Amino acid sequence: MTQNTEKRTVVDVAERETKTLVETVLSAETVVSVGKGASLTHYRLAEDAENALTVRLDAGASYTLITLALGTGKLRIAADLAGEGAVCRSDVVYAATDDEVLSLQTDFTHNADKTVSRQLVKGAANGRAKASFEGRILIPYDKKEIDGSQQHRALLLSRDCEIAAVPRLEIYADDVKCAHGSAVGSLNAEQLYYMRARGLDESEARRLLTTAFLNEVLDGIRDEALRSDWEAQTAERIGL
């Protein structure tokens, strides 16, 4: 189902097929097509990667994407919900530290009725890292029974890091349920105090709270070995 070159990876899931794909080396461009009634679960590790992913979902197609973005990189995820009843779930964890610069851009278009999109983006920045998330949901004017949501939550782990979030909803239709939210903050001081009062040192408490926060997304990975490997890599990469 996949063709792979350095420049371009093409993934086609035929009608009514169910597939799982794990991608750890990314081309510059990834093109995914999920056919009628087909289902694709896609896990991607984007380590210091630059990649543009475009996904097209036909009627009744279901696409579940979990992306782990580490280090300096530039990622774009564009989804075209082209067929009626298509469901797209895209969750992302991003983590950057030192002088890394990481940007994530998502662009979901509901081009058919009764389409559903769900995005949960969780991130953390440490050191002097700069991270940005820009997410767009576009719902053209004549579409009906659309359900979209986009949530972004991120942690600032140092004084000198930066996280910018730009959620953009462009809704031209009436029959729409669309929710979005973005919150960027520091670790909770009361939680840190409670943990330290039980004997955990500060860095241990910070690491535990941060990984618990990010693992909400990674817990969605059904392959246990892959999940614990990626969870460990995330903790290490963020410098905790």
Partner 1 sequence: MSAWLEIKDLSAKVGEKEILKGLSLSVGKGEIHVLMGPNGSGKSTLSNVLCGDPMYEVTGGSVTFKGKDLLAESIEERACDGIFMAFQRPVEIPGVTMTTFMKYALNARRRAAGLSEMDAVSFIKRLKIRAKAFDISEEMLKRPVNVGFSGGEKKRMENLQMAVLEPDFCILDEMDAGLDVDAVKVAGAGVQIMRGPERTFFVISHNIGFLREQIKPDFVHILVGGRVVANGGTELMDEVEKNGFSRFYKEA
* Contact residues: partner 1, CB under 8 A: 188-191, 193-202, 204, 208-209, 211-213, 215-216
CB of 58 to partner 1, least distance (A): 36
CB of 29 to partner 1, least distance (A): 34
Of 199 and 225, the one with the shorter C-beta distance to partner 1 is 199
Partner residues linked to 46 by β-bridges: 69
Residues contacting residue 165 through CB under 8 Å, at least 6 positions apart: 132, 133, 134, 152, 154, 182, 184
CB of 196 to partner 1, least distance (A): 4
Of 119 and 215, the one with the shorter C-beta distance to partner 1 is 215
CB of 194 to partner 1, least distance (A): 5
What distance in Å separates the CA atoms of residue 209 and residue 213, rounded to the nearest whole number?
A: 6
Beta pairing class for 2-4 and 8-13? antiparallel
Of 133 and 213, the one with the shorter C-beta distance to partner 1 is 213
Query: Can you list the alpha helix ranges (DSSP code H) found in the chain?
Result: 189-196, 202-218, 224-237
Of 195 and 226, the one with the shorter C-beta distance to partner 1 is 195
CB of 120 to partner 1, least distance (A): 14
What distance in Å separates the CA atoms of residue 222 and residue 230, rounded to the nearest whole number?
A: 12
**Helix (H), strand (E) counts: the chain:** 3, 15
Of 87 and 240, the one with the shorter C-beta distance to partner 1 is 240
